[in-house]
Amino acid sequence: MQYIDRRRVPPPEELRGDRLFSNGERMWQFLQLEPNRRAQTRAPQSSVQSGSYSSVLPALHSLFHGRCAFCESQTSALDIHYFRPVNGAEPHYGLVDSHIYYAWLANAWQNFYLACADCNAHGRNYFPVKGRRAPIPTQEMYMKYLESGTGLWQCGLLKRELCC
């Protein structure tokens, strides 16, 4: 796996500012649901997940030098890979709200990787952790992320692990 200095390529415009806020507003509303209702509701899908953003892939190509983040192959079939799955992370560890993990990172630039079809197909939702999963962010934490407008998750796990 190649070393990537994420400071080299800033988050694409679609992941910052007003676009981040409008896309993240649905997730913020989802986090406000009562725990029982949230446990029975699908986390909202981001525009990136639905293929609506055009500048994310070129930015990832630049960041990862046109190579798969995992096997380093250089092929035309490179696509977006979420390092932490943006819903239904497995194993579930018996959590009632396991389907939410890690939906709040769907627009966080640090969670975007470039992967070839082979690497992207293996274990898309498999993200084992030692100990407990990170806590689901509070509404306040998520709003702080949206209001920052940077596209960079600044609370906890990604800040210390994948800091840009």
pLDDT above 50 (res 119) = yes
- The model carries a pTM of 0.84
**Cβ-Cβ contacts under 8 Å for 68 (sequence gap 6 or more):** 74, 75, 78, 114, 115, 116, 119
Q: Is residue 154 within 8 Å of residue 140, measured between CB atoms?
A: no
Smallest CA-to-CA distance from 68 within 150, 156, 4, 148 is with: 4
From residue 75, alpha-carbon distances to 9, 47, 80, 144 in Å are 21, 25, 13, 38
How big is the CA angle at 103 (ends 150 and 19), to the nearest 5 degrees?
35
**Cβ-Cβ contacts under 8 Å for 101 (sequence gap 6 or more):** 84, 85, 87, 88, 89, 95, 127, 133, 136
pLDDT, tens digit (0-9, with 9 covering 90-100), for 52-102: 567 899 999 999 999 999 999 998 889 999 999 888 778 777 777 778 888
Q: At what angle do helices 139-148 and 17-31 cross, to 10 degrees?
A: 170
pLDDT, tens digit (0-9, with 9 covering 90-100), for 37-48: 988 898 888 766
- Please tell me the predicted confidence (pLDDT) of residue 160: 46
Task: Compute the residue count for the chain.
Answer: 164
Distance, in Å, from the CA atom of 94 to the CA atom of 71, rounded to the nearest integer, reads: 32
Query: Of 10-14, 85-89, 127-131, which one has max mean pLDDT?
Result: 10-14
Q: Is residue 107 within 8 Å of residue 23, measured between CB atoms?
A: yes
